Structures are given as structure tokens and as C-alpha cells.
Amino acid sequence: MHTKSVAQLVTGLRERQFSSVEVTRAYLDRIDALDSQYNSFITVDEAAALAAAGVADERLASGAANALTGIPIAHKDIFCTDGVRTSCGSRMLDNFVPPYDATVIQRFKSAGAVLLGKTNMDEFAMGSSNESSFYGPARNPWNTDLVPGGSSGGSAAAVAGLLAPAATGTDTGGSIRQPAAFCGITGLKPTYGRVSRLGIVAFASSLDQAGPMAHSAEDCAFLLNTMAGHDPLDSTSSTVATEDYCATLGDSLEGLRIGLPTEYFGEGLDVATGECINDALKELEAQGATLVEMSLPHSALTIPTYYIIAPAEASTNLARFDGVRYGYRCENPVDLHDLYSRTRQEGFGEEVKRRILVGTYALSAGYYDAYYKKAQQIRRLIKQDFMHCFEQVDVIAGPTTPGPAFALGAKSNDPISMYLEDVYTLAVNLAGLPGMSLPAGFVEGKPVGLQLIGRHFSEARLLNVAHRFQQATDWHLRTPDSAKGGTL
Amino acid sequence: MIMAIEQGEIEKVAELSRIRISDEEIGQVTERIAEILQMVDQLQAVDTHDVEPMANPLDATQRLRPDEVTQSNRRDAFQAIAPAVENGLYLVPKVIE
């Protein structure tokens, strides 16, 4: 059961080969048996999941099933879930039970999906290793001494460990793609505004975007069909029409022009990782695509630009955590100032505080022009690089990360070396483009991710390229040894 | 170029951010933030004359909607999760003597 794809589960449920309660029970049993080695879930409510599965079975029996009726899905603990604790990986929200659903959650519920549980993540989605979680790091199913990546590390580990058929994530600078690469799964960050941000705990509002994480591009397409669409309650939600992202998965790649930015293949890229990427590109070439060398000249500036803009927006967004309306509150505050400053001292972890301080500094009087405005100007130059390239090519390809997953603790005391992990993913968020990562091989048993970047709103094309690649390769079907135990 | 940040400036920013930092931590916090600011300093060398700052990746502007009530009042549900409330009000330490 747990080795079936979302597409197979949908068919099996419709054909009454098994029930949603059976599928959900199977995954809950696996979580129970195996998640002590991954720590991929923060909250699992078995009774609620089984009750939702029971309702789904009734709908299936009455022929009233929707797109995902009966499919258990894990959600990153950043999506507000009505009545289910939403911690965002932070002590600050350890006791937070939202009174409403994020639009994404609502859409999954309307589609009939079962909420399997809430997955581990870096605190407030700030991190590339899951080590900043208040609940301890999630671990990589391919080798539990390695990080699963971040910030959606729990979602990636849960899918890779076959504890959920699919999951949601969010991506502000690589937080879907990098953990997908490290854990050997497929993840898509849609165009900015494609998926509603309402009810997603905000990190950097001009960069945040939610997307699907699953084994295959086909399963990601299934999920995106449910997730994407205009939301009048999110003022930055796009009104561009959505597509049926499953409809064009099998289209030919004949004539596809793929751009290879020289900056993504140069110094800093692990040699063996680069070889996997080159082999993957040869496969796409064999299917009729043309490879075109090109340049994104401002690539070296993406890390400094991001580390102004993201902390600046975070410092503003995280001002809401004040110990007054919800979440953590320090004990025995002597006055209002003490209430605010001690609540925030005790409720936030180190990396979150660091980013709030950097962001507050960059926005403060006298520094605004030198930092924030400057970064916004360079952000435009970075976007223009991509726009120029997309005049010549349809898709841009390269590695998702400079190398495979690293060991737990290897970078946790060095913020800058952690920031460098996102060197190939940040620009996509700055430019608002869709990007995805798909499994493209292994280096010493560790998965490697191929990144595809497309024009704004070209999710269907990216999924098409990824699906065609996955029809000819089996990297996405490999299972880590640690996931082979458990029931069924 | 921007000068290296000093501990006093971090203390000021921490105050603006309403984050208490202990005396034991402030030295290391300053050091780490100085490293980050040094890293981002390379932006200063880029010529951005005549480049319009970009706040939204799609250059979208704020959408307007009719000024009509569209949400119901859910005060009780929202206050049920607050640390301290009384008679519909959020409680904080005394601010007026």
C-alpha cells in the first residue's frame, strides 16, 4: 500500500480495491513504527485522520468522490489547521491551535484528502537543514546521520521514508526544492502568487510560496491541481487562469530548448553531483531537447540580496508575536516592555532572532537605502537576467544544490556556510519563477536533485519535462533501506 | 562601504526588535551579525543607478476591493487561544499607574 503513488491510490480507492481507512491506517502504522528514526512529524492525530478517512469512504461508496477523496496527505506545520496545533517548528507557537484553516488546507479538505499529520520544519521556515526546529531535527531516510534539508525537511523525510504518499511544503529560498533533492523526492515551488498564502505563517511575504512534495512529477501535478488558484483573501494571489497540470505530462520534449547557466556549473559544485546532472541532461537531450549554454550574470549577488530582503520582511512579519494574542508568553512579566522582549527572547530560537535583528537593522533609519532599497534594485537585475534567458530557452536546468546532504551538525554553528547551501535556489524566489527538483542519481548513496526553472506560470511545462524524465529513469522510485521495515 | 557593526548598535537593534539579549550572548550575536553584514556588503559595489526597486516579483500592485463587510466577527474563537483575556479584552501588565 505504502509503495503506491498518489495516482495509483486514487484509482485503487475508486475501484474499491481498498478503503481510505485501510490506506490511512497503513500510513499511521508506519509513522508509529518508523518515525522515531526520522522525527518527520510534529503532530499526528490518529483519531481525526481515521474519522476523516471514514467520511471519505462514505463519499466513495456514494459515488460523490472528488479529486483526492480518501488520500492521506501530510502538511508542513506552517499551514494553519483548524483545531490542530500549528507550531511552525517554534516554541513561540508550541501551544497555538488555529481557529481556521489555511486556504491550501481548505482546498485539500474540499478535494476530499485526509489530513495525516503536521510535519517537522526549521523554525519559522528559516533554515536549510531542519536543525533549527524546536522539536529537534528531522533526519534523512537515506542515512539518518544526514540532514533531510530544510526548511520543509519533515515533509521530505516523511515522503522519502514512505510515511506519507505526498506532502505540502513552502519555499521562500529553496525550502521545497533543497529537501526534495536531499531526500530523493520530487518537489515543486510554483510561481509567486499561484498558490494562496492565506493561513501560512508568514516568513518573507514577497518570496513565500507553497507547493507539492511527492515521489513523482505526476503526483505533484495531482496535488497542484488542488492547491493552485486565485484566493480573494490573499491580496498577492494571482488571477492568471490555472491549467489541468496532469493533462500535458506526456507531451513530447522534441524541440524543447534547455538553458544551462554557466554560473550553476562552475566553482562550488561538487564534481560527482555535476556528473549526475550532466547524465540527466543527456537523457533530456536524447528525448529531443536542445541544450543551450547561457549566463545569469548576477548569480553571485543572489545570496547577499536574499539575506537582506528575507530578513527585512521576516522582521516585519514576526513583529506580531508579542505574547498578547496567541502563542507563547513569558512568565511573570514586570511590565509591557518586559512582556514583549522576554516573550521574544524565550519564544524564538537563535537563527530566527538573528534574522529579525539583521532585518530590523537593514530597515532602520539611515540604513534603509544602503541595504533594503539596494537589495530591491539588485533583485530586479536578477529577475532581468532570467527574462533575457527566457527569450532564448523554454526551461533552465542545473543542480538544485552544490552537493548532496551533509551531516547533522556540520554547518549548524556557521550561518554563512548554511546560507551557501541555497546558492542555486534563491534566485528563483527573488524572480518569482516556478522551480522544481527531481531525483537525478546518487553520490555515495546520497540522492542528487536536478533543478528545472521555468517562465512565470509555466508549471505545466516543468511538470511535463520532469514526468518525461521520470518515464525514462527510476531514480524517483528508489526506496531507502531504513523505510523497508514496518507493516505491509 | 559600510563600517563593521558594533555591539552598541546590536543592542539598539535588539531594543527596536523587542528581543532581550543576555550579557553572555551579546558578544557572539554581534560577531555573527557582523559576518552576515560583511557578506551582504558586496551589494554596495553594484551600480544600480536608474534601476527601479522591485517589491513584488510580478510587479503587481495592491488590489482593491469594494468596501464591504465580508468577514464574520469571531472574537470568541480568536480570544479563546489568547494567554489572558477578560470581558473581551486582551490583558497585559499595567501600563498606566
Calpha distance A331→A323 (Å, rounded): 10
Query: Does a structural domain hold residue A202?
Result: yes
Query: Does a structural domain hold residue A174?
Result: yes
Total number of domains constituting chain A? 1
For chain A, percent helix, then strand, then coil, each to nearest 5?
A: 40, 15, 45
A70 is in which domain, residue-wise?
6-254
The cell numbers describing A47, all together, are: 483519531
Tens digit of each residue's pLDDT, chain A (488 residues): 788 999 999 999 999 999 999 999 999 999 999 999 999 999 999 999 999 999 999 999 999 999 999 999 999 999 999 999 999 999 999 999 999 999 999 999 999 999 999 999 999 999 999 999 999 999 999 999 999 999 999 999 999 999 999 999 999 999 999 999 999 999 999 999 999 999 999 999 999 999 999 999 999 999 999 999 999 999 999 999 999 999 999 999 999 999 999 999 998 999 999 999 999 999 999 999 999 999 999 999 999 999 999 999 999 999 999 999 999 999 999 999 999 999 999 999 999 999 999 999 999 988 999 999 999 999 999 999 999 999 999 999 999 999 999 999 999 888 888 888 899 999 999 999 999 999 999 999 999 999 999 999 999 999 999 999 999 999 999 999 999 875 54
Residue A212: how many other CB atoms lie within 10 Å: 34
Contacts of A356 in chain B (CB under 8 A): 17, 19
Query: Does a structural domain hold residue A188?
Result: yes
Query: Does a structural domain hold residue A249?
Result: yes
Closest chain B C-alpha to A33 CA, distance in angstroms: 33
Query: Does a structural domain hold residue A245?
Result: yes
Contacts of A193 in chain B (CB under 8 A): 58, 60
In CATH, what number is assigned to the domain containing residue A94?
Answer: 3.90.1300.10
The cell numbers describing B82, all together, are: 489568547
Pick from A323, A374, A432: which is nearest to B57 by CB?
A432
Pick from A96, A344, A380: which is nearest to B19 by CB?
A344
Instruction: Please list, in sequence order, all residues whose beta carbon lies within 8 angstroms of the beta carbon of residue A153, skipping any fewer than 6 positions away.
Output: A40, A120, A121, A122, A129, A130, A133, A137, A138, A147, A179, A182, A183
Query: Does a structural domain hold residue B60?
Result: no
Q: What are phi and psi of A401, to 5 degrees?
A: -135, 160
Number of A/B CB contacts below 8 angstroms equals 163
Cβ <8 Å between A304 and B17: no
Cβ <8 Å between A380 and B51: yes
Query: Does a structural domain hold residue A246?
Result: yes
Residue A208: how many other CB atoms lie within 10 Å: 26
pTM for the complete prediction?
A: 0.97
Total number of domains constituting chain B? 1
B25 is in which domain, residue-wise?
1-49
In CATH, what number is assigned to the domain containing residue B23?
Answer: 1.10.20.60
Q: Nearest residue on chain A to B40, judged by CA atoms?
A: A304
Contacts of B49 in chain A (CB under 8 A): none
Task: Say how many residues make up chain B.
Answer: 97
Query: Does a structural domain hold residue A366?
Result: no
Cβ <8 Å between A356 and B53: no
Tens digit of each residue's pLDDT, chain B (97 residues): 444 688 999 999 999 999 999 999 999 999 999 999 999 999 999 999 999 999 999 989 888 889 999 889 999 999 999 999 999 999 999 888 7
Query: Does a structural domain hold residue B28?
Result: yes
Query: Does a structural domain hold residue A236?
Result: yes
Query: Does a structural domain hold residue B40?
Result: yes
Closest chain A C-alpha to B35 CA, distance in angstroms: 8
